[in-house]
Structure 1
Amino acid sequence: MTSDPAAFLARLHDYRRAGAQALRDSGADPDPILAEEVRAPGADQRYGVNLIACPPLPVVEAIAAIQARLSALEPGQYYYPASDLHLTLVEVCSSQGRDAVEQLAAAISQIVPDLVAEAPQAVLARPLLGYDRRACALNFVPADHGLQTLRAHLVAQLAGEGIAIAPRYPAQSAHVTLMRYLRPLTADRAGWVSVLESISAPALEWRIDSLWLTWGATWYGRTGRVQMRGPYALGGTPLSG
């Protein structure tokens, strides 16, 4: 993950262009596992453990406005409820059995105060909608090296406790997923892409000053399938309220 905001933004624009072209050429790529989970809650058995940040109200409101615009054109897709919105800081493990995940979460819950005691805060800015054939997310550009440093700190602290992370892929972005495709597009592909490209988010700054430990069927962050513990203040500073 680059800590250069300009390089980060350039890569995000490349991702948007590639996503737009893929949607024009091939349409959406629906998620059959999510579709089954929506139809029969509990169907998804891919358990995991994560350290996440929950977005503040201005970010939640910005996402709700984007979702309203998208759902007016594609109401049949899956739009994340506000309670499920999150930014993954560290994916500790994914697609594991329930017992193994619960044991790991129990171990991490004992050391989270130590993990965050000297953890730096991070500032995100310049939100921009990102999209591909599978999903849409509100992406952020790190204001400096803070997010990269925070993630590296958490991984190093976990390693120091004998916990090696096993993510699906390296953390390369700062995003909050807000929609996933459940079915093929009903809207015209070109028209849908035009709407995606036209959406602009308000100028926002998000200071990540706390995190949560989550475990369960965390792939989609559905509140009913996930257990959460927190928030834990980064740097050990007590949280107000």
Structure 2
Amino acid sequence: MNDLTEHYNQLFETSAKTITAGKYSIDLELKNQSDSRFGITLLIRPNEEIKANIEHFIHELKKVEPEQYFYPDSDIHITVMSIISCSENFTLNQISPKEYIEIICRSLVDVDKIKIHYKGVTASPSALMIQGFPRDETLNNLRNKLRENFKNSGLQQSMDTRYSIFTAHSTIMRFQEKLHNPKKLIEIAQKFRDYDFGEFDVKNLELVYNDWYQRKSTTKVLGDFGLR
């Protein structure tokens, strides 16, 4: 938890300086209609109450930066594991989803409750995120099981190739245009820096075939795993 707090803090401090100085990054792929980067992800979706709290924050951001990309309710998620990272070279017909579902089921055998507390906001040079904190080690243990089981399976996967995932954040805004007022944007983020968005018990995990931004319109649910 402390490591995660430290990670989010450093990320915010560095990114806030970068954004305020106008050195932020614009994601040019957001408006690219022919973006064909797809992958497979195991994810968690927050409950309705949390999404309503996040919407309150998004509403504030939209007042200052209405032209940016905001995640709709349907697309907000926490990545448990990016099993096959999004790329132009991957299509669903390359794999048998059933084999992936079997490994996930096996990895979930001893998993009890996963609780996530959404508290505060952090940033990257191109996005704003809600900070998620798992209540205990259950999520990390599951990730380690998935790593082990997939690596031993011989199935196509690219886990941890970009970075080894250990956070539980949700991206809610990406920069797709020049910012009108970077300083004001960071001021709003600061206002929500320790805001309590709520805590929830994860009821299920979804295995999805998805584009880079997890847009509902292009997402295909491959498996749904209920947690007890």
User: Normalized against structure 1, the TM-score is what?
Assistant: 0.84
Unaligned ranges ≥5, structure 2: none
State the Cα deviation string for residues 33-59 of structure 1 (Å, max 9, x = none).
1122xxx3xx11111111111111122
Aligned to 1:123, which of 115, 128, 132?
A: 115
Secondary structure, counterpart of 2:220 in structure 1: strand
Aligned to 2:56, which of 55, 65, 68?
A: 65
Rounded Cα–Cα distance in structure 2 between residues aligned with 1:101 and 1:50: 16
State the Cα deviation string for residues 38-87 of structure 1 (Å, max 9, x = none).
xx3xx111111111111111221121111101011100000011111111
When structure 1 is superposed on structure 2, of 92-101 and 178-187 the one drifting more is 92-101
Unaligned ranges ≥5, structure 1: none
Secondary structure, counterpart of 1:26 in structure 2: coil
Rounded Cα–Cα distance in structure 2 between residues aligned with 1:170 and 1:74: 32
- Note the C-alpha offset of 1:98: 4.0
Aligned to 2:205, which of 199, 207, 211?
A: 211
Rounded Cα–Cα distance in structure 2 between residues aligned with 1:165 and 1:20: 34
Residue 195 (str. 1) matches residue 195 (str. 2): no
Rounded Cα–Cα distance in structure 2 between residues aligned with 1:101 and 1:73: 43
Aligned Cα root-mean-square deviation (Å): 2.1
2:30 is aligned to: 34
1:227 is aligned to: 220
- Cα pair 1:119 1:154 within 8 Å, conserved: no
Residue 154 (str. 1) matches residue 138 (str. 2): no
When structure 1 is superposed on structure 2, of 43-52 and 190-199 the one drifting more is 190-199
- Note the C-alpha offset of 1:207: 2.3
Aligned to 1:92, which of 83, 94, 99?
A: 83
When structure 1 is superposed on structure 2, of 99-108 and 150-159 the one drifting more is 99-108
Residue 48 (str. 1) matches residue 39 (str. 2): yes
| Paired letter, 1:227 | K
- Note the C-alpha offset of 1:6: 1.9
Residue 8 (str. 1) matches residue 4 (str. 2): yes
Secondary structure, counterpart of 1:29 in structure 2: coil
| Paired letter, 2:137 | H
- Note the C-alpha offset of 1:124: 2.0
Secondary structure, counterpart of 1:22 in structure 2: helix
Rounded Cα–Cα distance in structure 2 between residues aligned with 1:223 and 1:30: 22
Q: What's the % identity of the aligned pairs?
A: 21
| Paired letter, 1:22 | T
- Note the C-alpha offset of 1:132: 2.1
2:134 is aligned to: 142
1:79 is aligned to: 70
When structure 1 is superposed on structure 2, of 198-207 and 125-134 the one drifting more is 198-207
Structure 1 residues 109, 126: closer, same or farther in 2, change over 3 A?
A: closer
Rounded Cα–Cα distance in structure 2 between residues aligned with 1:27 and 1:12: 20
Give the count of matched residue pairs. 224
- Note the C-alpha offset of 1:126: 5.0
Structure 1 residues 196, 78: closer, same or farther in 2, change over 3 A?
A: same
Rounded Cα–Cα distance in structure 1 between residues aligned with 2:146 and 2:156: 11
- Cα pair 1:101 1:215 within 8 Å, conserved: no
